A and B are shown apart, each in its own frame.
Chain A
Amino acid sequence: MTALAAAIGVGIALLLCGARLFAGPTLYDRTLAANGVVIKIAIIVAAGGVISGRSVLIDAALAFVLASMVANVAVLKFFRLRSFQAPLARAEDL
């Protein structure tokens, strides 16, 4: 009962985050909104796990949050350095 209410409320917030994801003017807005969307999907999945009583869905929510964090850090690092193979020393130090 509470889990169903939580899933519906978080779903409405997910629509708002999705609007910012598609309307965001800069890359960083989109990164932030994408992280919010994934976290809200994880909460909805966890609420589904509480409703159905299966703990596998909570583990899936944990994996969602961790994968979202790793993906966002990779995106931010790529757009700061414009490369996935960043040099370990700065050019003026060599």
Chain B
Amino acid sequence: MDPASVLQFLQLGVSGIVVAVGLLLIAGGSLGLLRFPDLYTRLHAANVADVVGSVIVVLGLAIAAPDWGIAVRLLLLAALLMALGPTLTHLVAQAAHAAGLAPIAGRYAAPRPGATSTSTPP
């Protein structure tokens, strides 16, 4: 076997493994987004699993890319997803909490927006 074909086989194997891990994470995140009972738990699924899975899938695509220009652009896309996903999750959670959407919390009550200034002792 010449080195070029070994390198090609290695590229296919490594990118396949990385993409499979990312697809597993994306499947978990999307199932959580569909099945969880509450906006905040859905946010947790969408943030943690989905963003990390998207970044890992894009990194696997960058390994499988045919030339360097595509690989560099895919790394840029991964950096963008990694930066913007948690930012948007924070924005959605803060907007929902400020709008008065209460989380389902069992026995425990989450603090309401604006309730801390009246309930805390001076």
Name A's B-contacting residues (CB within 8 A): 1-3, 5-6, 9-10, 12-13, 16-17, 19-20, 26, 28-29, 31-33, 35-36, 39-40, 42-43, 46-47, 49-50, 53, 55, 58-59, 61-62, 65-66, 69, 72-73, 76, 79-80
Contact = CB atoms under 8 A, between A and B. Distances in A.
B77 A20 contact: no
Interface of B: 12, 15-16, 19-20, 22-23, 26-27, 29-31, 33-34, 39, 42-43, 46, 50, 54, 57-58, 60-61, 64-67, 69-70, 73-74, 76-77, 80-81, 84-85, 87-89, 91-92, 95-96, 98-99, 101
A65 to B, nearest CB: 5
Contacts of B84: 65-66, 69
Contact of A76 (B80, B81, B91): B91
A46 B66 contact: no
A93 to B, nearest CB: 17
